[in-house]
Structure 1
Amino acid sequence: MATANKTCSLGRRIYRIAASVSGAIAPLIIVWGCTANYFNAGAIAWKTYTNSRYGFEFPYPSNWTSLAAPENDDGIAFIPLQNNTVEIRGWASQQLPNSIITEQESVKKINPNFKTAQGVSGVLVVEVERGVGSMTLTLTQSQVKYYWQGRSKSQDFPDYYRLFYYIAQQYRIPKP
């Protein structure tokens, strides 16, 4: 166990250096390896947010508080009381009909690389930049795009990665 802690401590130091110098690939490998063993979803008291307009839902830690929801009820954001630089957010939006989507927009589409516990395929993008690390999930069903995102300061991202990943896995959308 002590060896694993030393390795992860070294990994976190390397992550901080790499995150400030470059992009996301090397830091993400370190983040994945060092935080995977330290997250226990069963140790967290959860609540579930359900969106009344689009019907998506996701769990969030019960001791996190919501920010003001937009008037159109397209989503919500939550932050932990002790750290307002960390945020989880879910929202949805109507897409234009397929006939109106331009060729340029269709080129930007990325192949699905993630599957939720519900069995819905989507795109999960993890970005660690100089100041902010984020994990963004995008799911598309019919003419609706569903999004979920976790964000934190890049130096804190390794501490939240597994939490964000778990919530992304639990994100649910209405059945077609």
Structure 2
Amino acid sequence: MRKLSDLLPERYFNSRELSAAAGLVWVLGEVFRERVLDLLRQLDLDQATWGLDLYERDYDISSQATDTPDERRGRIRAKMRGAQTVTTGMIQAIGESYVDGENIVTEYPRDNRVTVQFCGPFGVPTNIPSLTAALLEVMPAHVVFDYLYRYLLVREVQEMTVEELQMREIGEFAF
């Protein structure tokens, strides 16, 4: 990037006042540039920091002081996706925005029931309370939902070495 002093005629290079003014304008330009770039980052939900407050205000979402930015982004994404007719694809998209990993949504229309099966990491995902709140908000009142979790099966455990077992967390095993 060119500096303002690069644009000045040579006869002004010896002027301390003009050199100082050009330097000041350049510094202010850099500050302005950084602020504009930061503002543009806030428009991208994946990069937003202080802009998350604005998204939450626009979508009428309340956040807790203990929420991580990723949890906040997940709630915002779910709310963005939630303003439409509820489909299995939409429920799946909401689930993926809250829980890392793939999930499969199965609909049982006669029973007015939906099952969300987590195919990713073993055990109960950590963000289940937030996912439940998001689903309660978008699901029709007469439709109930439940979760299916992935645990290590006995046959999988039998095939593991002691070292592999020690690397696993206790929540990955079903008791």
Give 1 or 2 for the bigger CA radius of gyration.
2
TM-score of the superposition, structure 1-length normalised?
Answer: 0.26
Tell me: higher relative CO, structure 1 or 2? Use CA pairs within 8 A at least 6 residues apart.
Answer: 1
TM-score of the superposition, structure 2-length normalised?
Answer: 0.26
